[in-house]
Amino acid sequence: MRIGVFICHCGSNIAGTVDCPSVAEQATSFPDVVYATDAMYACSEPGQDTIINAIKEHNLTGVVVASCTPRMHEPTFRRAVERAGLNRYMFEMANIREHVSWIGKDMQANTNKAAELVRMAAAKLRLNRELLPKKFAVTKKVLVIGGGVAGIQAALDCADAGLDVIMVEREPSIGGKMAKLDKTFPTVDCSSCILGPRMVDIVQNPRITLYASAEVEKVAGFVGNFEVTVRKKATYVDWEKCTGCGMCTEKCPSRKNPDRFNEKVGRTTAIIIPFPQAIPKKASITKESCIRLTKGKCGNCEKICPTGAINYDQQDELIVEQVGAIIAATGYDLMDWTVYQEYGGGRFPDVITSLQYERLLSASGPTGGHVKRPSDGKEPKRVVFIQCVGSRDASVGRPYCSGFCCMYTAKQAILTKDHIPDSESTVFYMDIRSPGKGYDEFTRRAQEEYGAQYIRGRVSMIYEKNGNLMVRGADTLLGTQVEMEADLVVLAVGGEASHNAGRLAETLRISYDQYGFFLEGHPKLKPVETNTAGVFLAGACQGLKDIPTSVAQGSAAAAKSLGLLSRDMLESDPAIAQVTISRCIGCGKCIRVCPFKAIKAIDLRGMPKAEVVETVCQGCGLCNATCPQGAIQLSHFTDNQILAEVEALCRF
């Protein structure tokens, strides 16, 4: 074998603490290495040309590049060696940036370690074999999980481009958090006026199939050919017959149930249409609140319904769909702010969240757009806003910034003045973060034009005194303690990952961080892709963000899906598990540990054996490590190849 070794300086990232020419010189003594050199930037066009020319000039049959992480540039170098006529799997990469130069400053020690990693890569390369991908057909249909603004944008973009779309929304209506907003920043235009037509487009587009009150139960298959099982929950109303007339809601006697859409600041009936612009505009029954379903009595809605749509015997339904790509757009939820006992922990009715305040401001809210405090229905004159409740606070496990709280607090201060001209708004803040287009001007407008008083400091306590709320905090700019009376306190509660996001991530076989947000493939180069091919991210499920960014990411995820499904055939990665039938004893351990369900049991002359479904296998290697007989080997990462690396490392 004729191996060429290329050591990348990566500017000073590697060369600052590694003697790259020395590593290249040492590499010439490794077995089968016939050429070695160093390059300033191996991934650049001149660097790739150097590799291609060396392959041709020295008749190289294998290449080792020592540079940064393979996660970033392995595909780049594989394409380069392919252009020179080599098989892409006759290439190995040694990570001497993240594993060497970035973790130590001792030049000699780093140089020695870099040389050892290159020796290991060359030893493995000697046992590499050419691998060829297989092609398979794709299903040109996209699943969008979540009907918020990001999911809506992604679904419409895919449908407009000619793809069929399946949208799954867990709530009775699409719209997400944006549907609950009164106005949006920084333009202060009507949220429903922006979102409403897009929601209607979803239900009227012939290429989009909407499953509301539904959740993804199971995902099998692989990129291009996913089999998705959707659980459509029982609403006890036949939506094929329901016209959304609302007569059932008027006659329902169960009227003291917390209204989830209105963030529980109002009461509603057991059978509901969430809001006037709901899509689909269909009634659904909350089982726990329904007198008929809990006590066997009533039945008013069934009697009054003019189309006979009520069905108390309705059961959950499982629907199986075949799709080629999946876009997760499950949004976010607000954190449970009641952990803050200093803010009353939920004891004071006039201490509410920002989203509850949105519903009070909205014309479709429980008070018809008239701001009334929950305790006595009076109009508040002194409104105090407290920012960073559940954001930038490590004590409650939320050290991150939610990103949109500063802006919507400024918006709500402006709207408060519009609704109650003689009101006074005070904002306690830590820092004002308004980096978007027109955002800083908007926060200044709240202060300068609408008279909102901004106090930099934390609120230490909210308590009642003589029937009124007292807010005690600090003004860190003046260095004084502040105490004031408030008619209403609005908490800018931070966001967190959507409930059950972890379970969905496991169903989709994608990664998520310690806070429950889905992890992108690469924070800069693959912001909407995941570690599972064919699964993309959109909106706040990947990290908290505002509406414009969510919409942009929805379109980005749609573009990635369109790019993927624009081809009739896809190539599978040949670096997959292979079963040696003669050694397999049919114990089934590999089948149980495979997270991708890529191994199935077969019968061979009356003996149980394991067989790998090549198009499903992702090459994770769990089966290889689990097999007690060593009957499964991972192509490109065989036991012999790994042992060759270990042996190379152990030579001094």
Nearest-10 Cα torsion for 319, 324, 329, 330: 30
| Residue 53, pLDDT score | 96
Q: Is residue 641 part of a domain?
A: no
| Residue 652, pLDDT score | 59
Among 496, 527, 556, which residue terminates a domain? 496
Q: Are residues 486 and 628 both part of a single domain? A: no
Q: Are residues 299 and 323 both part of a single domain? A: no
DSSP 8-class letter at 394: G
376/487 Cα distance (integer angstroms): 11
The strand pairing partners of 456, in sequence order, are: 429
Q: Are residues 342 and 323 both part of a single domain? A: no
| Residue 453, pLDDT score | 97
Q: Are residues 161 and 173 both part of a single domain? A: yes
Q: Are residues 187 and 293 both part of a single domain? A: no
Q: Is residue 643 part of a domain?
A: no
What CATH number did the domain enclosing 95 receive?
A: 3.40.50
> Element (H or E) spanning 118, and its range?
helix 107-125
- Within 10 A of 256 (CB to CB), how many other CB atoms are there? 10
What CATH number did the domain enclosing 585 receive?
A: 3.30.70.20
Query: For 502-551, what is each residue's pLDDT tens digit?
Result: 999 999 989 999 999 999 998 988 999 998 889 999 999 999 999 999 99
Query: For 475-501, what is each residue's pLDDT tens digit?
Result: 999 999 999 999 999 999 999 999 999
| Residue 595, pLDDT score | 80
Q: Is residue 154 part of a domain?
A: yes
What CATH number did the domain enclosing 366 receive?
A: 3.50.50.60
The strand pairing partners of 168, in sequence order, are: 145, 211
Q: Are residues 173 and 67 both part of a single domain? A: no
Q: Is residue 622 part of a domain?
A: yes
368/7 Cα distance (integer angstroms): 69
Number of domains within the chain? 5
Tokens of 264: 């529980």
**Cα distances (Å, whole numbers) of residue 598 to 221, 323, 588:** 8, 18, 12
498/515 Cα distance (integer angstroms): 10
Q: Is residue 570 part of a domain?
A: no
Q: Are residues 367 and 490 both part of a single domain? A: yes
What is the β-pairing status of strands 3-8 and 62-67?
parallel
559/166 Cα distance (integer angstroms): 16
Q: Are residues 428 and 337 both part of a single domain? A: yes
Task: Mark the ranges of the chain whose per-residue pLDDT is less than 50.
Answer: none
pTM: 0.89
DSSP, collapsed to helix, strand or coil, labels residue 454 as: strand
- Within 10 A of 423 (CB to CB), how many other CB atoms are there? 20
Q: Are residues 473 and 349 both part of a single domain? A: yes
Among 471, 496, 521, which residue terminates a domain? 496
Q: Is residue 646 part of a domain?
A: no
Identify the CA nearest to 492 among candidates 597, 606, 403.
403
Q: Is residue 642 part of a domain?
A: no
| Residue 616, pLDDT score | 79
Q: Is residue 132 part of a domain?
A: no
| Residue 591, pLDDT score | 94
| Amino acid symbol at 143 | L
- Within 10 A of 539 (CB to CB), how many other CB atoms are there? 33
Q: Are residues 368 and 419 both part of a single domain? A: yes
Domain span at residue 522 reads 141-233+318-331+509-565
Q: Is 393 left (phi over 0), alpha (psi -120 to 50) or beta?
A: beta
Q: Are residues 461 and 551 both part of a single domain? A: no
Q: Are residues 513 and 458 both part of a single domain? A: no
Phi, psi of 97 (to 5 degrees): -95, -70
| Residue 597, pLDDT score | 81
| Amino acid symbol at 79 | R
> Element (H or E) spanning 136, and its range?
strand 135-137
Question: Cβ neighbours of residue 231 under 8 Å, at least 6 residues apart?
Answer: 214, 215, 216, 217, 316, 317, 318, 319
Q: Are 589 and 629 in contact, with CB atoms under 8 Å apart?
A: no
